Each structure stands twice: as C-alpha cells, then as structure tokens.
Chains A and B, each alone.
Chain A
Amino acid sequence: MSLVLDIFSIVAICAGAFFFLAGTAGLLRFPDALTRLHALTKADNLGLGLVVLGLLPHVDGVLEGLKLVAIWAAVLLASAIVSQLIARVARRESEPQ
C-alpha cells in the first residue's frame, strides 16, 4: 500500500514539476504580457495543485492536509487577483494613444 502511495506521490509531483517547467518556458518565450500571464496561471493552478496532491498521502493528519490545501487556495486567490491587475495595466498600455 505504501509503495502505491509513493508511486502516486512521485507521479503527481513530477507532473506538477512539468507544469512549472511549461509555465516558465512560456514566461520566457511568449511575446507579450498577456500571453505570459496565461502561461503562468498553468504553473500556479495545475503545477502547485498537483504538487500538493502528491504530498497529501504523506501528511500526519487531516489538519495538515487541510493546511496544504489552504496554501494552494491562497496562492490561487492571490495569483488570480494579481493576474487581473497586471492584465488590466498591460491592456491599457498597449492600446493605441
């Protein structure tokens, strides 16, 4: 049973790391701010979510698992708001005068 949980954790964390890699590649290669924000949301939502999912089988209790999920939820909230604010400024700056 613990072998299955370990394999699950490794697969989930590797998948999360892949999304972080994809998000970073998008940040470096995409042409403008809006497309870069689009790439970064994949890292925040899916990447962190999969890493948290992979860590859940190894927590010491329900409370710790809830704390991990709460961290993910807080990051989601903050990154959503910040992406919206950056996108609004980027759109305003790119509009023709």
Chain B
Amino acid sequence: MSSVTLFGLLAALLVGLGLYGLIVHPHPLRKILSFNLLGGGVFLLLGVVARRGAGAGLAGDPVPQALVITGLVVAFAGTALAVMLLLRLFQESGTASLRADALAGKDAKKVDR
C-alpha cells in the first residue's frame, strides 16, 4: 500500500464519520460541523486523485487541486449562510431546535440576544 492509497482510505473514513455525526448529533451547529468534516473527506479524495496524476514535472495534477480550492471557498460561503440562518432561527424562536413541535408555540416570540 502506498501513502496515497492510505490517504484515500482516510478520506473514506472521514466521510463515514462526518455522515454519522450529521445524522446523530441533535444540535444544528454540530450538524454543520459534521458536514464540514464530511467535506474535508471529500476534498481529500480529490487530492488523492490529483496526487496520482503527478507528471510533467508537477507534484500533482493541477485541475483537481484547483477544484478543491474553489470547493473550499464555496463550502465556507455555504457554512456561513447556514450558521446565519441558525442564528436567525434562534433569534426568532428562542431555541435552536429544528423539530416542528419545539417551534410550534413560538411564532410570535422574539428573544433578546
């Protein structure tokens, strides 16, 4: 087994761990965190593909690397939007719960931060 295959297996495990955390953790902020963990694993998989494409004097295929850089920025933009939505939900309803019955009685309630 080479290092690159080892990192590919690491990527698979990170995706599995992130998926587990996304499903199991009840707090939405932890879900966002697990989603980013999952994203790290996916980007690592692209990095493994890039490393295997080394050649022509480069240490890695530059196209997957550029895709990962673009992906990192867009993932941050998505995470920022998700966090702001969560904070607005908390501001409107006083709870960060995503369950319908927890939010049912709190339509008109606004909370001071």
Direct contact of A and B (CB under 8 A): no
B residues with a Cβ closer than 8 A to A are: none
A residues with a Cβ closer than 8 A to B are: none
